[in-house]
Amino acid sequence: MPARTIPKAAILAEAARLRALFDDAGAMPVATSILQPAGALLDLYGEDIRARAFTTSDPLHGEQMLRPDFTVPVVQMHMAGGADPARYTYSGEVFRRQEDDPDRAREYIQVGFELFDGSDPARADAEVFALIAHALAEIPLRVATGDIGILSAAIRGLHTSDRRKAALLRHLWRPTRFRGLLDRFAAGPDKRRLKLLHSDDPFRQAGPEIGLRSRAEVETRLAALREDAQEPPLPKAQVQLLDDLLNLQDRAPAALHHLQDLAVDMPAIFRAVETLEVRLDALSERGIDIDKLDFEGSYGRTNMEYYDGFVFGFYAEGRRDLPPVALGGRYDALTRVLGQGRSIPAVGAVIRPDLALLTGTAP
């Protein structure tokens, strides 16, 4: 694991350096408990989160998770009574299962910066990105950016049912499942499936009744499937435009021009593309050379699901085996979910000091 090659004292010293930079940027230090209630994370991500987190339980506190990240508890803390605007910083251990890659660390230190400010989201995006870029300026890193908001707007603008749009949005962070749904929605009705769904007794044809769902629940689900099966296919032109967006990879200014062209045929993304243009101007004002900044249409689809706008990552050049050194993005929707009726635009980022040191000292 990368963290083993760097002494713990050096990692803690780097974490302190990063915290000092964030303190100087006006962030208030905060701390969160290592054990977090599992309910909020399960409500947000469903049972999938169990594959990525360590869980425990006791009779008094119910099911708990070792902290998989800081953002959710920091948002909960802020939405419970924090004043706006607000900047927070934190550092400490997070815990992630690594069943697919046993060589990756299951426990490591994160240092983060979160900004809650609705006055100018583009400038807030630029502030957080520039702060992370400055903190890592001495390390040779590849930077990737994207915008989940453009993808979401494109899906919401498709000529199909709200149910199908919701399914695509739900699986946006699962590229294989998303592709399968998109292909199925574009293919048109499945005659074999229609025959089963419209049979006089689909329960008899499907076999014996098993499981915990009642017959009424199953019948409701069958009615929804019948309605979906009668949907006309997605227009091929829209699928091609969406594929063009998903496959886009270019420098940010060229990507912006391409997206502006796409918006002529995909008017649903027009406002999100305007937001990207304003953000690039704000990044330039912060001293970021946007002519060298990469933009990827699909970037951010394999990260935490709460990102819903600007997303970015810093990676060690030539080290595809390593996780991102830093990762960040906008998560406005998360504040609505956790705010109990309140919401505020928010953006943040985390750095792994062990990977920053590993990359900075690599031959």
Rounded mean pLDDT of 43-65?
75
Cα dihedral angle (118, 248, 246, 307), rounded to 10 degrees? -30
pLDDT band for position 289 (cuts 50, 70, 90): very high
**Predicted pLDDT at 151:** 96
- Say yes or no to pLDDT of 41 above 80: no
The mean pLDDT value of the chain amounts to 86
**Predicted pLDDT at 121:** 95
Quote the percentage of the chain above a pLDDT of 90.
59
Q: How far is CA 38 from CA 6, 44, 172, 268, 300, in A?
A: 32, 10, 23, 36, 24
Rounded mean pLDDT of 25-49?
81
* DSSP states of 319-344: -TTSPPSEEEEE-HHHHHHHTTT---
Long-range contacts at 12-17 (CB < 8 A, ≥ 24 apart): 12/109, 12/353, 14/353, 14/354, 14/356, 14/357, 15/91, 15/109, 15/111, 15/353, 16/91
Tokens of 363: 């031959």
Which SS3 state, helix, strand or coil, does residue 154 take?
Answer: helix
**Total residue length of the chain:** 363
Contact 57, 88 (CB under 8 A): no
Tokens of 55: 């869980």
The highest-level CATH class for domain 2-32+67-154+240-361 is alpha beta
CA atoms lying within 13 Å on the CB side of residue 195 = 4
Sign of CA dihedral 178, 152, 115, 340: negative
- Say yes or no to pLDDT of 330 above 90: yes
Domain layout of the chain by residue ranges:
2-32+67-154+240-361, 189-230
pLDDT one-digit tens code per residue, 56-95: 877 877 888 888 889 889 999 998 887 789 999 999 998 8
Question: Which residues are CB-contacts of 246 (< 8 A; sequence separation ≥ 6)?
Answer: 151, 297, 298
Rounded mean pLDDT of 275-298?
97
Q: Can you tell me the distance from the alpha carbon of 299 to that of 251, in angstroms, rounded to the nearest whole number? A: 13
- Say yes or no to pLDDT of 49 above 80: no
pLDDT band for position 45 (cuts 50, 70, 90): low
The residue with greater pLDDT, 203 or 41, is 41
**Predicted pLDDT at 228:** 63
Q: Can you tell me the distance from the alpha carbon of 145 to that of 323, in angstroms, rounded to the nearest whole number? A: 16
